[in-house]
Structure 1
Amino acid sequence: MTVPHLTTALTGPLLELESRILAAQPHIEHWFRKQWNNHAAPFYGSVDLRNSGFKLAPVDMNLFPGGFNNLNPDFLPLAVQAAQSAVERACPEAKSILLIPENHTRNTYYLQNVAALVHIFQQAGLKVRLGSLNPEITEPTQLTAANGDIITVEPLERRGNRVVLADGFSPCIVLLNNDLSAGLPDILKNIEQNLLPPLHAGWAVRRKTNHFAAYDKVVADFAQMLSIDPWLINPYFFAAKGLDFQSRQGEDQLAELVEQMLEKIRIKYREYGISHEPYVIVKADAGTYGMGIMSVKSGDEVRGLNRKARNKMAVVKEGLEVNEVIVQEGVYTFECVNDGVAEPVVYMMDRYVIGGFYRVHTGRGVDENLNAPGMQFVPLSFEEHCLPDHKAAPNDAPNRFYAYGVIARLAMLAAALELEATDPDAE
């Protein structure tokens, strides 16, 4: 098991924060139980965290996680139990699942993730088949994952109000592992089966700013319970709309927002005696795969983008044009694995933490996006099923991972609120 080290001693605000989280564990778990009674947890999700030694915060929340192959295999039983819980909640009589993966069939590591998901559900006692939205898949097709696992994808069909496979396979749960960046497919609209996550969780309509607005509310309540400054676990953000990076439309307004954000961070850094230089992450308000992201330390950096940088920001996955961005407080990561800068990614299913890994990049700095070519994944295990060790120091592995699990669950709860607030069918 890998226990990364913080490159700075864990002192000051974060040590105090982790100590409070440990001391308040019974209250925290009771609080979460109450929240989950009132809000339906998303089916699954992964949260990117950053630990700066003075701040521990989520910077992204993915509702279509694609790295199940990077989880510690020792923790398969946790994932299986969580899968059973999630399925039971959605459809108690479910015997099978129709899983819809991403269209990129040539990414063999992604296929390994699909195979890992299939294995989890099979171990949970379910029959799993894969239905593809890819128009190139016209018959059952075998694909080989990076580790040699073989999966079979089949063309998806619509019959009445159900999506099925050619032989009529039509379970009550249709599970998306496709983030719908390319748009909401007609074949999935208004189906009577349980579609999880729902269509409005797809990047064609979802916005990161909606998620972090929900996270603001969750953290305000949680921080009050713990008597802590919410900023210690919450990155500031602004929304910027009406942008066109190619024609430089909105460039000055974006630069002004960056300067405002930097000043907000400076005020907090002065309050806590933090000597690091503030920075800001500007990223597409929709989309994933680490595309459409830049790290800046002044508004002028946004004004002076060269053509290559503008092209990089203008379009993300599936050719989606970027007209809206989130201007987010940059959170340093002072964790290190194998001489590479690292950030923890925590995986959840239903309301449960089922493991995670470190995203490690030896070619990136402590103030840069690590979700980039050249990254590596180092599984981390949440010791003793993510339970803290009250006899150990706050920064010992089980306690560090417990703190990660708490912050990740706050992000998952925020995702639940976000999906409720953006549900087009809600009254």
Structure 2
Amino acid sequence: MKLSATIAIAAAGTLAAAQGHRHAHHHAHKRDTVATSTVDEVVTVYQLDGTPVPVADVCQGIKNGEYKWADGNAPSGACATSTSTSPTVKAAEFIQTSTSVSTSTSSSSIVTTSAVPTTSATPTTSSTSTTPTTTPATSTTPSATPAPTSGSGGATGVDAPFPDGELDCDTFPSQYGAVPLDYHNIGGWSGIQYPTFNSLATLVENIVTAVQGQSCTEGAFCSYQCPEGYLKSQWPSTQGATGQSVGGIRCSNGKLVRTNTNYDTLCIPGVPALSVKNTLSEMVCLCRTDYPGTESETLPSCVNPGQTIQLANPDGNSYYEWEGKSTSAQYYINPAGFDETQACIWGSPDPNPIGNFAPMNLGLGYKNGVTFASIFPNKPTTSEILQYNVRYDGVSTECAWDSNAKAYKGGASADGGCTVSIPEGSSATLVLY
């Protein structure tokens, strides 16, 4: 079970750094009628207006009097217990998360639940991407090759308006830009949720998550991948009563329908800001959490040797909000040599540190004219170390990570990771070397 307790802090000035969420806002998976084994992990994360902030920056800000704890109360175990009377300008959150990952050999359905947050919590995941190509390519702006025309709507790919009520629920909408992920074995979808609503249909009380072999059936919310640089546009306004997220299009009366009519298309372009360049000799997969949705890292952005791809960057001013707060994207940076069928699934650390046990995370989000991008170790989920180097190019502040398990920010060691800011209209590259 995932427990989220949030205590707000306020900043007296604009914070120009962000730290990605330590790991996916992924609710506990518990299989019915079977025994499970559970391991709990506790993680501490700070955020500013939905944008993650490094712990070291927060602690220094508290020490300098730049930030203050809301209501004058420091959270238990925080870096400081003093308070400040600085005027409030922006809000941030201290999030403490306990995550249980359960394992079982049963093939029965997975039930997803979440405890009620003390105040609120801000997940930092949502984005989409595609499976890897076999030919090196370079992309600097969101782009997609239109899919073949199909269906009564005369679809032309990612820019084609989605026709509510025309496609059967067992039809994956690839002609409307969605990218099938067949390796999940759930009909090409990245995740399927079967929710139960309260009596007024104003809240989702619990969610059953599809396992391999299940499909998008009546009442299900069916989530999907989009091309590189694009994000899925569909999620319902009715969300989980205890913090669960729901995403995707819905199967209603046997047909697929949109859940967010603010968008005509299934995929929308993210903010072009950050690309990934692979100079290694093997493929590297960055796996993004399917959010809003199952919140597992099931969305692959795999980069072949010599290839550069653009990452999907959500606009915090307009994209999915969790309890009124903007959200950003989280990627898991895997060891080299593992493809999406190995890396981009929710799993265990044995025999390799991949998937949700990948050694590093990348947080990415845009808000109010600036994209914040961070790299940081996936602790305490794993103590494994990435066996290659990572650095940001095209930014004003040095931010890198080497295989000796040290991060560098502006030439100084930053063991907890580091963050860069990318002004609107500019671009940067995360280089794997």
> Same fold by TM (over 0.5)?
no
Structure number with the higher helix fraction is 1
Q: TM-score, normalised by structure 2?
A: 0.28
Structure number with the higher strand fraction is 2
